Structure formats: C-alpha cells, structure tokens
Amino acid sequence: MKTQNKYTIAIDLDCTLCQSIRRNKPEDILKVKPFNDKVEIVKNLKKRGHTIVIFTRRGILEKGRELTIEWLKKYKIPYDKLITEKPHFDLLWDDRAFSAYQSGITYQSIEIHAKFINEQMQKNKIKK
C-alpha cells in the first residue's frame, strides 16, 4: 500500500538500526546484528513509497563504506542513498529530528511526524 505523501526519511545506523560498532574497528561492521523491529519499520516505510537515506560516520573507517553496503545487503535493509561522511557530533538539534530512543516508534508514527513537520513548514512558508 502506497501513501499519498512521500517523504525522504534519513536514518542513522549505529544505535538506531543496530548496536554501535567499536571505533576504529571496521571488522566489527559485519559482526553487529540489526535491531529487527527497526529494520521492519524501514522495510514498511520503503514499501509505502518513501525515500530511505541511510547515514553513518562509518566512512571514516578503512573500507567502512564497502563493509556497510555489504552489511545492508546481508540484512536486506532497503535504502535509496547511503551517506557515510556525516560530521561527528554529540547531539543533533534539528527541526526534523526523531529520536531513536523514543519508545513506540512505528512506520505510522514516522509518517505522522513527517506530515506534521511538512505542514508546519508550509504554514510558516519554510522551503524544504
């Protein structure tokens, strides 16, 4: 089933879709297991026609991008774009953020949140 509104949803990997890998240990990328409930959310969002962007800082590791692509294939995690050069930060303060630590996350709650943000942007005439 497709939704009327299509959104681009950016999703972090470590501590969001899987446990965090150890710093400077690219071989850990293939060892870490995904959070299956979160992967199902991503699969549902993709099935519903949303664009999925996976972003991670793994690109700083030797072969980090290649190993991440292999990991995503291994666990059949759908995505449209992979960004592996995100900046380091300890906290992201963003007008479009949705915390991985928030309970009760479903594909429906993500769609509702995206719709709300989109409506607020339109109401305040903020360009995407």
Whole domain around residue 54: which residue ranges? 8-123
pLDDT at residue 2 in the model: 46
Adjacent-strand bridge partners of 10: 53
- Residue 128, domain member (yes or no): no
Query: In 3-state terms, what secondary structure has residue 57?
Result: coil
Find the CATH number of the domain harbouring 55: 3.40.50.1000
The structure's pTM equals 0.84
Q: Which amino acid is at 86?
A: K
- By C-alpha distance, which of 38, 128, 115, 127 is closest to 75? 38
- Residue 2, domain member (yes or no): no
- Residue 97, domain member (yes or no): yes
- Structurally, the chain folds into a number of domains equal to 1
pLDDT at residue 102 in the model: 82
- Residue 1, domain member (yes or no): no
pLDDT in tens, 24-52: 677 888 999 999 999 999 999 999 999 99
The confidence band for 128, taking pLDDT boundaries of 50, 70 and 90, is: low
pLDDT in tens, 48-87: 999 999 999 888 888 999 999 999 999 999 999 999 988 8
